[in-house]
Amino acid sequence: MRFRELKQNRPKTSNIEKPKYFHAKYNYRVKAFIIDLFMIYTPILYFVAYVVMSGKDDFQTSELAPLIAVTLYGLIYATLISKFGQTIGKRAYDIRVVDDKTGEYINFFRAVLRFFAFLFTATTLLGLFLPFFRKDKKALHDLICGTFVVIEKKIIDESKVND
Quick: pLDDT tens for 62-93: 999 999 999 999 999 999 999 999 999 999 99
**Interacting residues of 111 by C-beta distance below 8 A, sequence separation 6+:** 77, 78, 79, 81, 82, 97
Give backbone dihedrals phi and psi of 108, rounded to 5 degrees, phi first.
-65, -45
Backbone torsions φ then ψ of 139, nearest 5 degrees: -90, 175
| Extents of the domains making up the chain | 22-152
C-alpha closest to that of 67 among 90, 101, 44, 87: 44
Per run of 10 residues, the mean pLDDT along the chain (length 163 residues) is 64 54 87 95 93 88 92 96 94 93 92 94 84 86 91 60 55
Q: Rounded CA gap, 146 and 163, in Å?
A: 25
> How far is Cα 147 from Cα 131, in angstroms, rounded to an integer?
13
Give me the residues paired with residue 99 across strands: 147
For residues 106 and 81, the answer to whether their CB atoms sit within 8 Å is yes
